[in-house]
Structure 1
């Protein structure tokens, strides 16, 4: 017998261990609360002050040192503003480390707007292809509903950034600067979502009717509409860059005309093909050392699929440490919100004691949080420093893309225990992997459904 059945009116009635919330039960709960003077004191505080201010461990927050033994950054942070482009910002921030050395400038930025323009355009095309691929399914099918609900967000994954760079190259920020909509994507995205959802219904109808000619025409028209909206909001991307600049030694350089692909090749030092995304999927059914992918997760048709190598978080930390010690920042993805003091720019897995404040059991391990939807990757940033003592990592320095107001002019400090619990992805050069793990990359990946938490976008 189930714990819940439906009565004649359709309302739920309890027949098992659970019971209806009667007036008597509710009265008893109120009386129990009122009789506890500690709860009354907490209530008086919480109704007037942010609960975070009451739950925070002040001594821990003030004792977390922001210094590190190995620090790479000597540049200013970027600012994604009111957009979800952190994954592109972090990837371009990684690329600019080589660019600023080649150019001889401390502060250089690639155009994040240029990268987003082509991601949006390609992602619209990818969405329409996914709609046609799933056209035999009903509109209430879980996959179809997932595709329609999640269309045209700003978030992404490492492999999706690589797809854009490899197809479209990159340009300096001066060649395609920010616009109002690139820094505040809400309205543009809502228009694109409406356009694509309407288009999806039209394509499904034409597919059902078997009208191949009209289907092709409609797809082309929808993509033309997407292109028009994007170009109105973000500007026209340059086909070439007439590149000239002055370096930090005040020397002027007139380079000449470069395509975006030439610009990327000339001013970056990273071979994107040689980098792999390590993921910590804590669920026991996905063995460490296996490769994973997520169906319908991508942006460029025909490009490399999103691919993860599932490893223990301790190994991910070790490889990230090695990269930083050897002079290379590291792209990573995490669940950014828990145990963070944004203004101070710090993370520690023990910063807040909500369980003690509420006298309720709240703790779950990483696997349980992933299984029940409590935790997933939500943000991507760049590791630019690490504190190492006797070979062990103690804390990490992080380049965020939220501007200079928080932390150390936009750089955050992460306690090592927070890395264990809330970091999900780390990108490293394949050469850092053991021979066994390098061989594992060639294995057929486990294909996870589109809605799997490992498909969460930063």
Structure 2
């Protein structure tokens, strides 16, 4: 970690002890927060507060007094000049952290997929991260130097499935008030670009996979905002009409729901097809012709579903260190909820009747050990995180010690991971892939991680980032792994009845 140069550091070990003491005070649930209206240290009963004992309105005189106090400090004057003329993070970036976060790892998968992908102006990170995991097995099978699966193919089918999923949810929530939180959350983003691992699994099982050359990105896949706005507007219109029909006293009106909904879906299909282009049919064979890395001509004729099933072939599984990517599942670290419990999210999904979104909630050590074992097998790991926190995309660094906010503003950002989730300060915002880790030679514990992003080669170090282990503790929420890399106790959690989180939960 870098140090604040203007502050005297505590004696060796003292800072770590202080940190542990503070972490012991972290709140573990919303209930604990609700019960703690104040913190009282001294013995005896807590003081009684009256509204008259504090100033309820903001005093202009008081703010002017504060300003004078701020500007008395020469350090603040220098900071004022610097911050008002420059990017604040560029000024506060610790050079020692940048130097320490090097792209050197003693555990690294031997075969990283190529090329580095680019999701462009879209929220398809989960589709890029998942296909970056899938492609490694296929590249090994077909002896390829460079290869991409079509993210746009999955994107197309995800959009149309989400539209159907939304309309079915509308029909199931007719009794809910339109201005209630559930309906407003459903209406907010019915076909958003984002998604989860189990949603990818649903798409691959139903529609399969195709090479990127057979269905490349259309403009609206690379820049999806207009398409999303059009579909969202239409679906909101459809939602109101369906609610009206479903609650009609007329039997014939209610009986027409199926026909009306099908026409609605046909309209969505029209918009998608014109803006993304007709995708390969999951029922028809495609003809994929290519040269392998030895220059030999190859031709593959398969249906997309058959192409996807290759990932479970014994030869492919063996080449992947015994990992069948169709069997992968999600571990999460959510300190608000009990560990070794199964979580799901109410009404979150894409394929109606498909695999639900589920997470096995575990501690950080369990996640890290599972990821390390997976990397040692030579398999990349899909993970979800809050990518915008303490990160520099140009340098490709994610590190909690990257910016010295305490030095600049004389304040600590002291929310715990649980508290950040409780207050909306943090959530899973981006999916990427782990391809390496550097382990301490003495303790064997992870120091830093290698991250493959989907922001093109212009971001980070030719598309790759470095993530400190502390950053992983604080801002990584999910890792998708093979059941064989965790204990039986963790695998058995999958048999539990899941705790249902609200649709608006940050783990959704």
Partner of residue 44, structure 2: none
Return the alpha-carbon distance in structure 2 between the equivalents of residues 219 and 254 of structure 1. Answer: 41
1:415-454 aligned at under 5 Å gives the runs 415-454=468-507
Contact 2:456 2:463 in 1 (8 A): yes
The range that moved more, 56-65 or 67-76, is 67-76
Report the counterpart of residue 24 of structure 1 in structure 2.
61
Equivalence for 2:139: 100
Task: Please state whether the residue corresponding to 2:415 is helix, strand or coil.
Answer: coil
Select 1:255's aligned residue among 294, 297, 300: 300
Aligned partners of 2:54 and 2:412: how far apart in 1?
A: 20
Instruction: Summarize deviations over 1:171-194 as a string: whole Å, max 9, x none.
Output: 001111111000000110010110
2:412 is the alignment partner of 1:369: no
**d(CA) in 2 for partners of 1:87, 1:17:** 49
* 1:71-82 correspondence runs (5 A): 71-72=108-109, 73=112, 75-82=114-121
CA shift for structure 1 position 23: 2.7
Partner in structure 1 of residue 192 of structure 2: 153
Distance of 1:58 and 1:424 partners within structure 2: 27
The one of 325, 338, 354 equivalent to 2:376 is 325
1:36 partnered with 2:73: yes
Does structure 1 conserve the Cα–Cα contact (< 8 Å) formed by 2:247 and 2:254? no
Aligned counterpart, 2:15: none
* 161, 171, 174: which one aligns with 1:135: 174
Q: Which residue of 2 aligns with 1:6?
A: none
Separation in 2, partners of 1:350, 1:311: 25
Change in CA separation of 1:321 and 1:132 when aligned onto 2, cut-off 3 Å:
same
- Measured after TM superposition, the shift of residue 32 of structure 1 is 2.5
Choose the corresponding residue for 1:54, options 84, 91, 115.
91
Counterpart check, 1:212 vs 2:254: yes
- Structure 1 counterpart SS, 2:247: helix
**Residues 102, 267 of structure 1: 8 Å contact kept:** no
Residue of structure 2 equivalent to 1:225: 267
Equivalent residue number for residue 411 of structure 1? 464
**Equivalent residue, structure 1, for 2:346:** 295
In structure 2, the residue matched to 1:264 is 308
Distance across 2 between alignment mates of 1:25 and 1:157: 49
User: Hey, what's the Cα distance between the residues in 2 that align with 1:212 and 1:126?
Assistant: 19
Could you say what secondary structure the match of 1:349 adopts? coil
Asked if 1 retains the 8 angstrom alpha-carbon contact of 2:134 and 2:325, the reply is: no
Secondary structure in 2 aligned to 1:296?
coil
Structure 2 gaps, min length 5: 1-36, 38-50, 317-322
Shift of residue 435 of structure 1? 1.4
Q: How far, CA to CA, are the matches of 2:353 and 2:54 in structure 1?
A: 53
The answer to whether the 8 A contact 1:162-1:272 is kept is no
Contact 1:80–1:86 under 8 Å retained in 2: yes
Alignment pair present for 1:384 and 2:426: no
2:123 to 84, 94, 99: 84
Q: For 1:426 and 1:266, locate their aligned partners in 2 and report how far apart those are by CA, in whole Å.
A: 23
**Shift in Å, 1:229:** 0.6
TM-score with structure 1 setting the length: 0.93
Look up the SS of the partner of 1:451 in the other structure: coil
What is the Cα deviation at residue 38 of structure 1? 2.3
Task: Kindly report which structure 2 residues correspond to 1:339-378, keeping only aligned pairs within 5 A, or say none.
Answer: 339-378=390-429
TM-score (norm 2): 0.84
Give the C-alpha shift of residue 15 in structure 1.
Answer: 6.2
User: Using the alignment, how far apart are the partners of 2:414 and 2:115 within structure 1?
Assistant: 37
CA deviations over 1:167-215 (Å, ceiling 9, x no partner): 1001001111111000000110010110111111111111121422332
Cα distance in 1 between the residues matched to 2:357 and 2:504: 14
State the Cα deviation string for residues 369-391 of structure 1 (Å, max 9, x = none).
11111111100011111112332
Number of residue pairs the alignment of both structures matches = 440
Cα distance in 1, alignment partners of residues 123 and 405 from structure 2: 28
Separation (CA, whole Å) in 2 of partners of 1:347 and 1:107: 27
Work out whether residues 68 and 397 of structure 1, in 8 Å CA contact, stay in contact via their aligned partners in 2.
yes
Once residues 64 and 386 of structure 1 are traced to their aligned partners in structure 2, the CA distance between those partners, rounded to angstroms, is 12
CA distance in 2, matches of 1:84, 1:191: 16
Q: Do 1:280 and 1:310's aligned partners in 2 also have CA atoms closer than 8 Å?
A: yes
The aligned residue for residue 400 of structure 1 is: 453
